[in-house]
Amino acid sequence: MNNISNILIVGGGTAGWMAACLMAHRWQNKSLTITLIESANIGTVGVGEGSTPFLRDFFDQLGIAETTWMAACDATYKCGIEFPGWCSHTGPSSYFHPFYGEADTHCVGEFFASCQQRREGFDTPTHPNDYFVNSYLAEQGKGPYKQAGLASNIEYGYHFDAAKLGLFLAEHARSLGVIHLQDEVEKVNASNEKIASIATKSYGLLKADFYVDATGLKGLLIQQTLGEKLISYQDYLPNNSAVAISTDYSTDETSDKRFQDMKTQTLSEALEHGWMWSIPLQTRCGNGYVYSDRFITKTDAEQRLRRRLGNNDKPALHLSWTPGRIEQHWKNNCLAVGLSQGFLEPLEAPMLNLIQQTCESFVEHFESQDQSNAAKQFNQTINSLIDGTRDYLQAHYLLNTRDDSEYWIKARENQHISAVLSDIIFAWDNPGSFEQALIKNANHLAYAKTSWYCIFAGKGRFTDAHKHSLRLTEKKHKKAVDICQKTSQDFMYQTDLLNTVSTRRAL
């Protein structure tokens, strides 16, 4: 770190600007020049509208008030994700994966206990939605804040307009002193497996001590120049394509439709050959169909999505990728951030979190004296995060019970599973402690215990109950439902919250 005086970030998508903001903020007291170059002709990926709660921490670190960036980015609150249609003949027809927080501590134990008893063959209530306050909030279109003066302990994330977020972050990075160049990189020069310089159209040859590859899926520096190969995960994950089309809200502010539109959740609904996202923003809804091109064509996918959305005439954005990751995200004098690191798929919206973790962990490790060891540790951490995420995403497909297409049957019967995920599924399906399996594999899991219970229970992964319902459990279940319902009463509707953002921050 001591002999680094300038960093060049190539790429001005969400990844490039998040990296610029975090590095400029963290190293503002060092004499370091950070430059970001992006092409005005090569667009950003243009999607990526859902986050996890980690994004709150990102803005908190930068000292940016939620209300400031939310207003600029068309953002809404997100309490979790609803998964309808993933199972056709077992379990609930839909379930909610909540962002689990302090508000749930009273009821989560009952959920775990009820699942455990159901695994033992008792007929107990195990629908995840019943036990988490966030699912009640999302269902009612409520956000994570109460009426003025009342404290809230809800965990939440956001939905936002990806293009507007990029512009907002760019402005903030520039205010921190980041130099912004608009130009096209024509060639990347390397020597001894290091980036030597970047040849640009108008600014000529640019040199830096360290480079960040934020050029998106092509990975211009890390993959194309330094030769890092994408390790394909297509044997694990079925999807490699998506089509996105936005929809307008109903103009009738009082209609039920408007209320439904503004629910504080992402909808991730399984369709015949993949799944569809619906993400409510302040002024429009982002939608997309994620699918495998081995089962359905691009044209067919677009037509099906259009039909679902009521045949609007908005343009469609088609995207494709090979699911996977590279091995070395930090290689010599280059760091890959964002899609240049690889991409799994949009399910569970984990990518911005990966970008954030990559930048934060890099900043920590980069300050170490022993850089080669630091890079090794850093790469292991990031790979473990991506592989842990891959396992959780694959669990969605393995646990589906749809029989309406070859796509779903193949996804369920897929034998290409990591040892960790096999172990977790085996532990759930068999007598004995599920907790032990989670503890044993803790270093390889990207999702917490609650998420694992939700996915198994939500997908109805239980053998038929053969024992009578436990009266004690029923009572506890009713108590949990009452607590969650009562707790959710004090919270404000998303539509009201978004109207009162400036006063709310003062709470």
Ligand X SMILES: Cc1cc2nc3c(=O)[nH]c(=O)nc-3n(C[C@H](O)[C@H](O)[C@H](O)COP(=O)(O)OP(=O)(O)OC[C@H]3O[C@@H](n4cnc5c(N)ncnc54)[C@H](O)[C@@H]3O)c2cc1C
Closest CA to 350 of 164, 342, 174: 342
Residues 6+ apart with CB under 8 A from 355: 14, 15, 18, 19, 337, 338
Give the DSSP H or E segment for 145: strand 142-146
Q: Under rule CB under 6 A, which residues in 274-293 are in contact with ligand X? A: 288
Q: Under rule CB under 6 A, which residues in 313-332 are in contact with ligand X? A: 319
Chosen residue from 8, 32, 50, 156 binding ligand X by CB under 6 A: 50
Active site residue 146: no
Chosen residue from 21, 138, 230, 242 binding ligand X by CB under 6 A: 242
Chosen residue from 128, 324, 338, 458 binding ligand X by CB under 6 A: 338
Interface segment toward ligand X; rule CB under 6 A; list 98-106, 221-229, 349-357, 454-462? 349-357
Residues 6+ apart with CB under 8 A from 336: 212, 213, 214, 219, 221, 222, 223, 228, 326, 329, 330, 358
Task: List the catalytic residue out of 30, 78, 201, 476.
Answer: 78
Residue 330's φ and ψ, nearest 5 degrees, are -115, 110
Q: Could you tell me if 428 and 456 are in contact, meaning their C-beta atoms sit under 8 angstroms apart?
A: yes
Chosen residue from 7, 8, 9, 12 binding ligand X by CB under 6 A: 12
Least distance to ligand X, CB of residue 348, Å: 9
Chosen residue from 44, 114, 129, 488 binding ligand X by CB under 6 A: 44
Instruction: Count the site residues for ligand X by CB under 6 A.
Output: 34
Cα–Cα distances (Å) from 466 to 88, 93, 123, 303, 312, in that order, read 21, 22, 7, 45, 49
Q: Under rule CB under 6 A, which residues in 84-143 are in contact with ligand X? A: none
Judge residue 261's burial from the number of C-beta atoms within 10 Å of its C-beta, 0-12 exposed, 13-18 middle, 19 or more buried: buried
Judge residue 42's burial from the number of C-beta atoms within 10 Å of its C-beta, 0-12 exposed, 13-18 middle, 19 or more buried: middle
Verify binding: residue 302, ligand X, rule CB under 6 A.
Answer: no
Interface segment toward ligand X; rule CB under 6 A; list 39-47, 80-88, 129-137, 296-304? 39-47
Chosen residue from 42, 113, 179, 181 binding ligand X by CB under 6 A: 42
For residue 177, the one-letter residue type is: G
As a whole number of angstroms, the distance between CA 389 and CA 383 comes to: 10
Least distance to ligand X, CB of residue 274, Å: 11
Tokens 């394509």 map to which residue? Answer: 241
Range 194-200, long-range pairs (CB < 8 A, 24+ positions): 194/226, 194/332, 194/333, 194/334, 195/221, 195/225, 195/226, 195/332, 195/333, 195/334, 198/8, 198/10, 198/37, 200/37
Interface segment toward ligand X; rule CB under 6 A; list 38-46, 58-66, 126-134, 228-236? 38-46
Least distance to ligand X, CB of residue 420, Å: 23
Verify binding: residue 80, ligand X, rule CB under 6 A.
Answer: no
Buried residues in 418-433 as b, exposed as e (16+ CB within 10 A): bebbebbbebbeeeee
Helix (H, G, I), strand (E, B) or coil at 182: strand
Q: Under rule CB under 6 A, which residues in 357-386 are in contact with ligand X? A: none
Q: Under rule CB under 6 A, which residues in 149-188 are in contact with ligand X? A: 162, 184-185
Verify binding: residue 484, ligand X, rule CB under 6 A.
Answer: no
As a whole number of angstroms, the distance between CA 373 and CA 368 comes to: 9
Least distance to ligand X, CB of residue 51, Å: 6
Verify binding: residue 214, ligand X, rule CB under 6 A.
Answer: yes
Verify binding: residue 206, ligand X, rule CB under 6 A.
Answer: no
Verify binding: residue 352, ligand X, rule CB under 6 A.
Answer: yes
Verify binding: residue 38, ligand X, rule CB under 6 A.
Answer: yes
Chosen residue from 346, 388, 458, 460 binding ligand X by CB under 6 A: 346
Interface segment toward ligand X; rule CB under 6 A; list 13-21, 23-31, 80-88, 254-262? 13-21
Tokens 């959740």 map to which residue? Answer: 265
Least distance to ligand X, CB of residue 218, Å: 6
Verify binding: residue 199, ligand X, rule CB under 6 A.
Answer: no
Catalytic residue IDs = 78
Q: Which residues bind ligand X (CB under 6 A)?
A: 10-16, 37-39, 42, 44-45, 47-51, 162, 184-185, 214-216, 220, 242, 288, 319, 338-339, 346, 349, 351-352
